[in-house]
Amino acid sequence: MMALLIRLPMDVLASVAGFVRQSNGMRLRAYQEDAALAIVKSVVERSGLTFVVVFPRQSGKNELQAQIKAYLLRLFCPYEVEMVKISPTWKPQSLNAMRRLERVLNNNRLTRNIWEKEQGYIYRIGKARIFFLSGSPTANVVGATASLLLSRDEAQDVPIDKWDKEINPMAASTNATRVFWGTAWTNQTLLRREMELAGQAEQSDGRRRVFRLTADEVRREVPAYGLFVDGEIAGLGRGHPFVRSQFFCEDVATEGGMFPARLQALMQGEHSWEDRARAGADAQTPAGARVAFLIDVGGEAGAADDRSEAWQLSFLPGGGHDATALTIVEVDLEPLADPLIAAPRYRVVHRRSWQGAGQVQLYA
């Protein structure tokens, strides 16, 4: 096997873009190639840089990850090196990432038929390996080593303390290159923290580390993508949190919360707080309202007693158990008759929460 690997043409391995073209003429988009070249350069030169790649949803971020990893497996196959790919969950995210890598390896003439899979989560070409691990709070990842590359997918979803304590040290022995992949959400995430640090490093040496795109940049190369985003904006509005974060990579918490002040003002009601049901609230009231109970069920005290400390959500009070929350609303049906609204109006009249309480007790 090694003799075959050595005889393969090395000119196409001089760049990741040339490698990708061996997959039936496939080409990276310009914005993908920019990020790929910077990451690979750091890996090859052992620069130990940290990169943050923030692309809009469905713009080729996961495909780019698979192509880079396949390229590095092939390039470093004569050497004992290891890469680690962390996903938020094992199922489905790690499994999806492994299937995507297999497809890339099988489609490229420089890697098909020479890669192997070990222990269900390790891929190998020659001596080079990549490990796929889950970054969930309960996952035991201590002991893995990322001597070549440490990659964290959906970095906005990983607990910061788990990254700092258990995952980041994997790159310590060789100061391996680290890459955080994700989509914007709030300004209190690991992704946001690393983006700010990478931006500071950029200013100090001028070497680009942050690759943050918007839907407008993607549409220049993929017009169909732009048409889809236009439809989402028409339906939800450009200021909708999901449009802002998922397609324009804007943190939705930069204005102090999920909703800016102008939207909060529209949600302010003039109705009174209620401690008990008003007469007739279980039927039609003069305002045409009905009462609805909205329950978000939380964990019970003792449900996690046998689990590891890493499972506990340290940012929550009450020993790490999330709360069961009850919101009581009056449902005003009158706006249904208004053709411009054609939807009910919900008036929040009461809220309660219980930390770690038993669900049977709450039901009673």
Domain with 70 in it: what CATH number?
3.40.50.300
User: Are residue 206 and residue 273 in the same domain, yes or no?
Assistant: no
> Tokens 């993908």 appear where?
32
Residue 281 covered by a domain: yes
User: Are residue 184 and residue 79 in the same domain, yes or no?
Assistant: yes
If one counts the domains in the chain, the total is 2
Domain hosting 185: range is 2-213
Q: Mean pLDDT in each 10-residue stretch from start to end of the chain (364 residues)?
A: 39 77 88 94 94 95 96 94 93 92 95 95 96 87 89 88 91 95 85 94 95 95 96 91 91 61 71 74 53 83 46 42 83 87 88 81 80
User: Are residue 18 and residue 108 in the same domain, yes or no?
Assistant: yes
Residue 237 covered by a domain: no
Residue 94 covered by a domain: yes
User: Are residue 167 and residue 298 in the same domain, yes or no?
Assistant: no
Q: Residue 187's pLDDT is what?
A: 79
Q: Residue 358's pLDDT is what?
A: 78
Residue 159 covered by a domain: yes
Q: Residue 69's pLDDT is what?
A: 97
Residue 171 covered by a domain: yes
**What is the reported pTM?**
0.69
Provide the Cα torsion 357, 359, 361, 364; round to 10°: 140
Q: Residue 274's pLDDT is what?
A: 83
Residue 349 covered by a domain: yes
Q: Is 35 exposed, middle or buried (0-12, 13-18, 19+ CB in 10 A)?
A: buried
User: Are residue 82 and residue 176 in the same domain, yes or no?
Assistant: yes
User: Are residue 187 and residue 285 in the same domain, yes or no?
Assistant: no
Provide the Cα torsion 168, 245, 202, 208; round to 10°: 100
Q: Residue 279's pLDDT is what?
A: 61
Residue 47 covered by a domain: yes
Residue 20 covered by a domain: yes
